[in-house]
Each structure stands twice: as structure tokens, then as C-alpha cells.
A and B are shown apart, each in its own frame.
Chain A
Amino acid sequence: MSWEIVIGLEIHAQLATTSKIFSGAATRYGAAPNSQASLVDLGYPGVLPVLNEGVVDMAIRFGLATHCQIARRSVFARKNYFYPDLPKGYQISQYELPIVHSGHIEIVLDDGSVRRVGITRAHLEEDAGKSLHEDFQGLSGIDLNRAGTPLLEIVSEPDLRSAREAGTYMRAIHTLVRYLGICDGNMQAGSFRCDANVSVRRQGEAKLGTRAEIKNLNSFRFVEKAIETEMRRQIELIEDGGRVVQETRLYDADRDETRPMRSKEEANDYRYFPDPDLLPVVIADERIARVEAAMPELPHAKRERLMQQYGLPAYDADILASSRALADYYDALAKATKAKPKMAANWVIGELTAALNRENREIESSPVAPADLGALLDRIEDGSISGKMAKEIFEALWRGEGPVEKIIRERGLEQISDTASIDALVQKVLDANAEQVAQYRGGKMQVLGFLVGQVMKASQGKANPKQVNEALRRLLG
């Protein structure tokens, strides 16, 4: 009997604001513990939250990009529970009335087919602080820098049917929020993380199985591995006559297993109720229109445009559209060069990406600007440098050795392509290799390769090979 796996993801995207959702404190990552916590974040007596309006526009942007309904009135609620890194004893979130709901996103599966994944809702909330259980000799440290950081929690429908699909969906959302400029997507820093709800049922069964929630998955690979592992656990459990319990589990990547969370949080009754310190968020149509007018081109549209405008194959368009910054770079490059768009794409996907990966840099901080790379491609296009030289020049550009023309000049890399000079070089080689010339003339055509090599060597690689070939054939008569 075969099994079907049913997955829904809850993605927490940290919104890219400079200050917190309910206080003016900064949200910079990596600051000294508790240096970015204001009295509001610390939950001091008498302080009150004031909504950072920037997060509302960001949520609207996400809602528009995922075909969601934008709630004209949404309400902040308090989720009550005690934990040392939750200063107020409640988290301000949205419960019954989220800001965005009932939408979908289309993802492209490995086989090229398109799957529509429902977005149940996306709501605004504040993050908690961090508990640090190491380095304190049996005590716990609390860092409240993260407390009050704005989050958009994106809840999908249970529409995903494999670990791979879940990973693809998570990547699509990751690409989207970065496109929208609402989240930096930095998974190491915890700006983008997810919980996975996983259940299994026998193929054909209509009723959903009991689900387990795997918490805090902060890489695409872990999401896929954790779901895979959890699925196997549930199937084995049921096949052995057991039953899945609804619970929260953690994924241990080292052991590749999921295990129940120790905390008693499961038993919590969060006693949600509307936060009386905050007014309902009322959104007028004009505001939505304003946000819509400022929407960037979205990944799907961008991919289509790259294929149409530049005639790129789907594979190239996919890669270039996977990040707004990469696509922006490509657009700028295509504009800056007379070279063929496909060649420009090859350079971005190949040489440039390899260099970025080598130094672990983002495209935004590429030392080679689109204009510089464009100038380099122009030189290839007009035949004044060879592909091999181009690579050398690219490396020099990367090291900041100056504009393309300067590098070519300083290194004497300019290709020799005037007929007179080439003819002179060729004649010299022919004179020095009478034996091979005789062989060629006697019908041994393979010797031509040897002669080309000799000419190239004599020119220190600078002669245009195509012209050398022509000259040899001409002069050998």
C-alpha cells in the first residue's frame, strides 16, 4: 500500500525595516546582546506599543504578489504565555483577523509542471528574544535584541505533496520576499525560517492524517531532509500499528531524526484576545493602490520577459530571475553591451557567479559592475580579444585593476588582427619550417595545425587565430 504525504508550511519572514514593529529600536543583526532593546521591547511598566506603519505596506505588497485578499480591517491580538525571552508575557500577533488572506503562489516543479499552492493567510507579529543556554554555567542568558522585530508569518494550505515540493515552495517564497524587498532572506541570521506541518495518509484516503509540526527549520536542505525523515517516521509508526500524536517536534540534523520538543508549550492555552493598546489596522483602497503602483516586476513575469526580450532559453531565464538583484544585473549588462544576450547570460551565470560563489559574495556587492563586464564582452564581440584573454581580463577586473581598456593596454593583451602584421608573422614561420611546408603542399593537410601553433607561439598568443588560419591557407597557396 502506498502513502501520500501532506505538508503545509508556516514561514516566518523577518520584515526588512530599520526599526522594530512596535518601538523605535533598531533591528540590526549581530549587535551586542540587549543593546537594541528599548523600554518597550523590555516590557517595562507603563510603556505602550506604537505600530511601525512600514510593516503594513510590506504586508500589502506580499498580499498583492500572492493574489491574496487584503483585509480592510485587521486586528492585533495578544498571544499569552510565559517565557523568559518574551518580556511582556505575551506576543503581539494577529489571530482572528490577519492583514492578508486567501491567496496562492504558483511554483514550477522539477518536471516543469506548475503547481498552485494556496496561501491561507499572512499575518504581522513581533518576534521574541533569544534564550542562550550555553556559556552561562548552568544559567540561561537572555538577549532581547530580537524582541519586537517584525515578522510576516506566511501560512500555506496543506497543498504540498513531497519534501521536494515543500523545498521548492519555500524557495519560491524566499525569492518572492526578496524581490518584494520586504525581507533580506538571510537564513543564517534567522531572517527566513519555517515550521513544517507534516502528516501522511494512505493513497486515496480523503481524510488528513494527524500532523506533527517540525519547528524552526532554517535552510532549504533541512526542510527537505526533516520532512523526509518525519514522513518515514510516521509511516513506520503507523505500519507498526502505532498512531501519530499531534505534537511539536525538532529536527536534529546531526542524527537526521525528529524528536518531540521538551517544552511544555504544547499544553499552553494562549488566551488570545484583541490587544487593547493598539487600534485595528484600517487599510483604505488608496493605500493599496499606492503600494500596487510601486510593485516591482515579480519573478514569474521577469522570467517570461527575459525569454521574450532577449531570446534566452528557459534554463538561463530561470537562473537569472531567481533573484531580483541578479536579474537587475543582467538587464543592466544587456543594456551596456553590444554582445549577444545569450553570451552575456553565459558570463553572468558562468564566470561571474563562479567568482561570487568563490568569495561568498552577493551580486549586489560584485566588484565587477555591469558596465565593466559589458565593455569586456564588447571586446570579445569585435574580435579584439580572445575568449582566453577575456577570462584573464575578467580576473583583473575582479581584483579592481581598472577598466577593461586599461588592463588590455597594460598587459599588451590586444589581439593582433591587422593583415599585414599577421602575414609577416606567417611568412616568418613558413620560412623557418620548410619541411612542414613541403609536407603540406604534398597533401598532408594535418600539418596546418602545427603551423598555426607556431604562428600563435610567435605572436605570444596575441594573433587572431581565425586570421592566422586564413593567412596560412592563402600564403601556402
Chain B
Amino acid sequence: MHRHTLAESAAALAAGSISSLELTRHYLDRIERLDGRLNSYITVTAERALEQAREADRRIARGEKAPLLGVPIAHKDIFCTAGVRTTCGSRMLDGFVSPYDATLVERLERAGAVMLGKTNMDEFAMGSSSETSFFGPVRNPWNLDCVPGGSSGGSAAAVAAGLCAAATGTDTGGSIRQPAALAGLTGLKPTYGRISRYGMIAFASSLDHGGSLTRTAEDAALMLGAMAGFDERDSTSLDEPVPDYAAEIGKPLGAVTIGVPEGFFDDGLDAANASAVRDAITVLEKLGADCKPVELPNIHLSVPTYYVVAPAEASSNLARYDGIRFGHRTSAPVADLNDFYMRNRGEGFGDEVQRRILTGTYVLSSGYYDAYYIKAQKARRLISRDYAEAFAKVDFIAGPTTPTPAFRLGQKTSDPVEMYLNDIYTIGADLAGLPAISIPCGFVGGLPVGLQLVGPHLSEGPLLRLAHHFQRATDWHARFPAEFD
């Protein structure tokens, strides 16, 4: 059952061949038995899940239809869940129980999904390996010595190991697509504003995207259909109609043109990774796609641009964690208000979060603002323009998701910049707010490799269709890590 895709489980539930209670118990049992090796969950909400499963079964029995009715999924612990601890992977929010549900959580619940629990992540989504979590590192089901990527590493590991049917994630610089690539999954980050950010704990507001980690593009279409749409509680949410993505993916591929940024295939890209991606592009050609080189002249600015914009916004977004109204509060005696703040925040935040707050504070400070923040905004516009110009010529852009397959735990923790370069291929789509997906396209040394597809604004339907057609022609996405089967 745990090897089923979300779509298969939903179909089996609707047909009555399994009950939600059975399926939910199955996943809860697997989490209990297997998650000790992965540490993919921070909180397991077994009772709530069983309650929701029973309710789903009653609804199914009444003949109700909902796209995800009775399907057990997991939420990245960055999404606020009413009455459930919501930690964002941080000591700061270790004991924080959210009084409300994120819009995304609410919508998935309305679609009938059962919540198994909250998945582990890099602290405040800052990291590419899920090693910065206060709740310990997450391991990759394909190789327990390796990281599952990050920051949505818990969601990636849980889906890859069959500890849930699908999971939500967030992507600010690649935090859905990079772990999807490293764990052999389909990771979709839709257009900025397509999914409400209300209740998604902010890291960098102008870059934060909600999305999903699933086994297939078809599953991603189901998840997106449930999550997407305008939300009046988020001013940056897009007031655009939501297509029937599940119907969209079934349509014929038609004539598509795919641009390949040749600049991505340089020394920074692992040779074996590169050849897996090249092979995948050949598959796309066989499907009828016209593949040709495309230029993104300013894409090399994306990592430095990101590491100005994201920390700047984060330094402000994380100011609310002062220990006054909620969150970690020091038990040490304090001298004055300033000391109180410093202890609360010094104890509550880990090193990487503190590093980014410091960086962000620096780039916004007077005398440096123009040189860093304003310049980064200009670079961001250039990068967006590059994409717009490319999409005047091609329908999609295809390339690698990551420079290498999963790396070992601890391998990059001592060098932040080395860690940051993991997102070199993914950050561009975040800066430009474009929909992007990573799908499995091969294995190197037993570890999955991801192919990234990027489309113009609001092209999720066609993008998922392309990924779906690729998955019908390949079976990389169908593989399952033996240790967890």
C-alpha cells in the first residue's frame, strides 16, 4: 500500500477497496517502525489522523466525493496547524501550538486529506540538507549516510520511504525541488502567489512558495488542485482561476519547445548527474519536444542575489520571535530588556538562522542598503527579464535540479557557501516567481538524480503535463528504496 501513488490510493479509497482507517493505520505503523532511521517527522498526530480517517470513511460511505478523501499526507512543520505543535524546525518554536490553520492546511483538509503529522526541516527553512533542524538531521531513505536535501527534507524522506502518500513543502531557494531530486521524487513549486502564504511561517516573503513532494506528476496535479487559488488573507495571492490540473495532464503533449541553458552544464555540475540530465532531454525529444539551447545571461547572479534578498527579508520576518508573546524564553536571569532579547534569540535560534539574520541586518543597514539590497533587486529584475525573454522563444526550460546527487551528512556543514551552491540551479525560478518542477531522471551510485523543468507564469498545467508524459515514458519515479519496502 505504501508504494501506491496518491492517485492510486485516492482511487482505491473512492472505490472502497481500502478504507482510510486501514491506510492511515498502515502509514502510522510504518512511521512507528521506520522513522527512527530517518527522523523525518517532528510530530506525529496519530489520534487526530485516526479521527480524520474515520470521518473520511463516513464521508465515503455517504457517497461524498472529494479529490483527496481519506488520503494520509504530511505537512512540513512550517505550516501552522491549529491545536498542533508547529516548530519550523526551531528551538524557538519548540513549544508553540498554533491557534489557527494555514490556508493550505485548511484547503487540503477540505479536499479530504488526513494529516499524519508534521515533517522535519531545516530551521526556519534555512538550509539545503535538513541538518540545521533543532530536532536533529533527517536521513535519506536511499542511503542513510546521506542527507535528503532541504529544507523540506523531512517531507522528502517521508514520501520517499513510504511514510505518507504525499507531503507539503515550501520552496524559497529550492527547498522543494532540491530534496525532491535527492530523494527521487516529484517536487512542484508553482507560480508565486498561486498558493496562499497565510499560515506558512515566513522565511523570505517575496520568495516563499508553497508546494508539494509526491511520487508522480499526477499526484502533484491532485495536490495543487486542492491547494491553489486566491486567498483574501494573503495580499500577494493571485486572483486567477484554478484549472483542473488532473484533467490538464492527460491531454496530448502537442508541439512543445524546450530551452536548455547550456551554461548549467559546466564544471560545477557532476559529470554523472549531467549525463543523466542529458539522457532525460533525449527522452523529451523522443516525446516530440523541440529542444534547443537557451541563454539566461544573468543567471550566474542568482545565488549572490538570493543571499542578499532572502536574509534581508528573513532578518525582519524573524524579528517577531522575541520571547515576549510566544516562543522560547530564557530561563537565565536577565539584566535588562536588551539582555532578555539577546538571550531569548541567542538560545532560540541556531547558527545558520543567526548567520542569515546577521547578514540580512547588515545588507539593510544604512550605508550598505544601496550597495546590497538595491543592487540585488536590480539583479533580480535582470534575472526575471532573462526568463521572460527565454519564454518568448521556448515553452519550457529544462536542466539539472542540483549539481550532485545526495551528499553525506556533515559533508557541507562547515562551509556555508558550499552548501548554498546546492541551489544554484533552483534559485532563479524563485527569484522570478516561476513554476518549476523536479522529476526523477536517473540514478548515480544508487542515488536519485533530478531533472528540473521551468515554465512561464501560471503554466502549471502544461508543466505538469510535460512531467507526466516524461513519467509515462520512464520509470525512475517508480523506484522505491529497498530498505523501506
Q: Which residues of A contact B (CB under 8 A)?
A: 39, 42-51, 78, 80, 82, 84, 87-90, 142, 269, 271-273, 276-279
Contacts and interface: CB of A to CB of B under 8 A. Distances in A.
A46 B312 contact: no
A88 B98 contact: no
A84 B198 contact: no
Contacts of B198: 46-48
Nearest to B87: A45
Contact of A43 (B93, B325, B369): B325
Contacts of B235: 48-51, 277-279
Nearest to A84: B324
Interface string B176-215: 0000000000000000000001111110111000000000
B316 A89 contact: yes
A132 to B, nearest CB: 14
B320 A43 contact: yes
A45 B88 CA distance: 10
Contacts of B220: none
A271 B368 CA distance: 10
A253 B205 CA distance: 45
Nearest to B93: A45
A473 B102 CA distance: 94
Contacts of A39: 99-100
11 contacts: A39-B99, A43-B320, A44-B100, A45-B96, A46-B79, A46-B102, A46-B198, A50-B232, A50-B233, A50-B234, A87-B325
Interface range, B side: 35 or more
Contact of A44 (B326, B361, B365): B326
Given A87-B324, A271-B369, 7 more contacts: A46-B197, A47-B199, A80-B319, A80-B364, A271-B316, A273-B312, A278-B235
Interface in B353-370: 361, 364-366, 369
Nearest to B199: A46
Contacts of B204: 276
Given A51-B235, A271-B365, A277 B316 contact: no
A87 B320 contact: yes
Nearest to A89: B319
B205 A277 contact: yes
B341 A82 contact: yes
B320 A88 contact: yes
A39 B99 CA distance: 9
A80 B79 CA distance: 25
A147 to B, nearest CB: 11
**3 closest pairs, A vs B, by CB?**
A89-B319, A276-B206, A271-B364
Contacts of A42: 325
B324 A142 contact: yes
Nearest to B234: A48
Interface in B311-363: 312-313, 315-316, 318-320, 322, 324-326, 337, 341, 361
A48 B103 CA distance: 11
Contacts of A47: 198-199
A50 B233 CA distance: 6
B369 A273 contact: yes
A78 B316 contact: yes
B271 to A, nearest CB: 39
A89 B200 contact: no
A82 B344 CA distance: 13
A278 B313 CA distance: 13
B80 A45 contact: yes
A279 B86 CA distance: 28
Given A46-B201, A82-B341, A89 B322 contact: yes
Nearest to A76: B235
Q: Say what secondary structure dominates the interface of chain A.
A: loop
B236 interface: yes
B373 interface: yes
A37 to B, nearest CB: 10
Interface of B: 79-80, 86, 88, 93, 96, 98-100, 102, 197-202, 204-206, 232-236, 312-313, 315-316, 318-320, 322, 324-326, 337, 341, 361, 364-366, 369, 373
A78 B315 CA distance: 11
A273 B316 contact: yes
A42 B99 CA distance: 12
Contacts of A50: 232-235
A89 B337 contact: no
A87 B197 CA distance: 20
B234 A82 contact: no
A87 B236 CA distance: 22
A63 to B, nearest CB: 23
A47 B198 CA distance: 6
Nearest to B309: A276
B93, B236, B315, B316, most chain A CB atoms within 10 A: B316
Nearest to B202: A46
B113 to A, nearest CB: 19
Given A51-B235, A276-B205, A88 B337 contact: no
Nearest to B101: A46
Contacts of B100: 39, 44
Contacts of A82: 319, 322, 341
Most central of A50, A89, A271 by chain B CB within 10 Å: A271
A42 to B, nearest CB: 6
A46 B104 CA distance: 12
Contacts of B102: 46
A39 B326 CA distance: 12
A7 to B, nearest CB: 27
A278 B234 CA distance: 9
Contacts of B202: 45-46, 277
Query: Which of B93, B324, B366, B369 has the most CB atoms of chain A within a 10 A radius of its CB?
Result: B324
Contacts of A51: 235
B280 to A, nearest CB: 35
A269 B365 contact: yes
Nearest to B337: A84
A22 to B, nearest CB: 9
Contacts of A90: 316, 319
A436 to B, nearest CB: 88
A90 B102 CA distance: 22
A186 to B, nearest CB: 28
B195 to A, nearest CB: 13
A48 B233 contact: yes
Contacts of B364: 80, 271-273
Nearest to A144: B325
Contacts of A271: 315-316, 361, 364-366, 369
A49 B373 CA distance: 23
Contacts of A80: 315-316, 319, 364
Contacts of B233: 48, 50
A256 to B, nearest CB: 30
A269 B315 CA distance: 14
Nearest to A88: B320
A277 B313 CA distance: 10
A80 to B, nearest CB: 5
A48 B197 contact: yes
A279 B234 CA distance: 10
Given A45-B96, A279-B235, A269 B366 contact: yes
A47 B235 CA distance: 11
User: Which of the listed residues A48, A50, A82, A90 has the most CB atoms from chain B within 10 Å of its own CB?
Assistant: A48
B346 to A, nearest CB: 14
A246 to B, nearest CB: 15
A45 B201 contact: yes
A255 to B, nearest CB: 27
A217 B88 CA distance: 43
